[in-house]
A and B are shown apart, each in its own frame.
Chain A
Amino acid sequence: MTSELVERAQRGDHEAFDAIASAAYHRLYAIARRILRDGYAAEDAVQDAFVKAWREIRGLRDPGAFDAWLHRLLVNACRDHARRTRRRVIELPELAIDREEPRDDLAQLADRDELERAFLELSVEHRAVLVLTHYVGLPAPEVARVLGVPPGTVASRLHYGARAMRAAIGRERDAAQPVTTAEPGR
């Protein structure tokens, strides 16, 4: 993204903004699609991010920060979209997180439906960290910059996001089986 285009858009040049948006569209859609797991929702989120970017681009002091800013707008739009639709699943078995799980190959054997459901149990903030890291490939300091959180928090969300997905998949499998391996009191 050239700073010149951003500066032109800041001066009200809509053609320049169109060029910026067109160049970023597929990338942003792919990110939103992975965070929200829904194509229509992803389209809405990208549109919301673009509208906000156009409206507020004059306040961007450093054109070089445009990409990070646009990513943040997108994550914010995803967050609002997820909250509007309340897709989050909260019917979880009690205290399931503390049970002992078979740890060797659970992740390897998880099928796509299980991954999908487990991913949607995460908050958008956690999903965004996982997508920006594992899909976009941003380093932790850049993810921290995009999300406006300390770098340590990014690491924490990465760790707990992956762990929560493992736990959710484990719960799902336990729920499907009448006999649980949980130890009393654990």
Chain B
Amino acid sequence: MNESMDRVLADWLREGPETGPREGLERALAATRRVGQKPGWALPERWIPMQLTMARTPSLRPILAIATVVLLTLALVAAALYIGSQRRPLPAPFGPARNGAVVYSEAGDLFIANQLSGEARALVSGPDTDSYPAFANQGDRVAFVRETDGGFQVMSVNPDGSDLRSLGELPGGLDRMTWSPDGTSLLVSYSDTDYKGLTAAVVNADGSGLKELATGMTTDYATWRPDSNQIVFRGHDLEADTSSAYIVDADGTNLQRLDIPSQGDVDFEGMTWSPDGKHLSFMSAGELSGLTGWQINVADIGADGSVTALHPLRFDPDADEEYYPSWSPDSRQLAFMREKDLRRQVGIANADGTGFRLVGPETVTPYMLGPTWSPDGKTLVITEIPDFEPLRERQRKMWTVNVATGAHDEVQTPVATWQRLAP
């Protein structure tokens, strides 16, 4: 059926003009002559590692400097021995935690950084393309996807760069990847080669294998329910030609449809659990409340997977659209993108729809990543994706926002995933 539509669509798209009006080109060229060029990236940090661009500190006198270095080295060795002898406590897998390092990908390598200072070092580097890093909820392991000539591999590594291992070959291109609550496995969604939708699989974190989540449907937005063995996804039953949200145990049993009305599968996207596992947010295209544009909905989900209440939300009545909801670590607030007259800004509100306020910078850039909470819930990271080359994380513009005050600062360190540490 979709194959048939693909053919019809391709034929139909080939119809129509192949050329634009000559005067259109002339107008466009004239318009470019009325504007100047922006300078290249002014900050050297955009181009070369930040460590090389940091200001030098005044040097000490040689003997004093050497003595200081020796003492510091001894102190560091002692501290490392002490820390190494202590088993670092792991945080609970959900809820507020202490902020750790951040990991991001750049030019096919992974880097680990201190988000505040910007100091970064390579975590994984080499000829392969490594991307989509994701910290385990316990903060003790980083998963990522390695693209090689032979395909895609799910990989993992310790935050110190040790114990790099392959967890299995991914049968297609990645869509999303999330860790299981207990950190023993990963849930991956990938595309097949025939564009027939997405498939989900559970990958064992010890490298012992990958098992497809057999639901009989395509599985989009597959994501693990916190503190449970359940997975929620948007499924499309290819045989019945129906689509809905479903919840299923990680072993593929107890499949049930979630009673969430949706008017169309394209306009029902981005399901995300609150960290306490009680609420599921998703975006829909307005029909649930008669509004235009994307809106955010929150469904209350019982332990058995039943929908106990559905809340279509419009936090700002004047907004054109609200999208990309992101739960605070304590599950009490949502941060999201709020758009009005093509201007985008982050909104924060209580999950019940009250307490709306705008924070951070306003931007007109078409693409913004959804806001990311720091593990302690005190900071939001906002990322603007410029129209520059994709995949170059350092060319993105980023800000941190103080959740309490709403004040923001531009920062240089990308945040693809943030390490959670025990308080």
Contact = CB atoms under 8 A, between A and B. Distances in A.
A162 interface: yes
Given A56-B38, A122-B266, A160-B265, A90 B13 contact: no
A173 interface: no
Nearest to B8: A107
Contacts of B4: 105, 107-108
A58 B389 contact: no
Interface string B244-266: 10000000000000000111111
Given A47-B28, A150-B175, 13 more contacts: A26-B18, A50-B29, A54-B35, A69-B388, A73-B387, A80-B342, A84-B342, A92-B264, A94-B287, A95-B262, A97-B243, A150-B132, A156-B197
Given A18-B29, A43-B27, A163-B236, A152 B191 contact: yes
B10 A79 contact: no
A21 B28 contact: yes
A120 to B, nearest CB: 13
Given A21-B29, A62-B389, A103 B37 contact: no
A123 B395 contact: no
Interface in B341-398: 342, 366-367, 385-392, 395
Contact of B173 (A54, A73, A140): A140
Q: Which 7 A-B pairs have the closest CB atoms?
A: A29-B20, A152-B175, A151-B173, A155-B191, A107-B5, A47-B28, A134-B10
Contact of B2 (A69, A96, A162): A162
B17 A14 contact: no
A165 B9 contact: yes
A18 B29 CA distance: 7
B19 A26 contact: yes
Contacts of A106: 1
| Central interface residue in A59, A94, A131, by most chain B CB within 10 Å | A59
Contacts of A61: 47, 388-389, 392, 395
Interface string A54-89: 111111111001001100110010011001101010
A131 B19 CA distance: 16
Contacts of A115: 8-9, 12
A18 B286 CA distance: 42
Interface in B220-251: 220, 236, 240-244
Contact of A135 (B2, B13, B191): B13
A64 to B, nearest CB: 10
Contacts of B36: 55
A34 B17 CA distance: 9
A156 B191 contact: yes
A39 B366 CA distance: 22
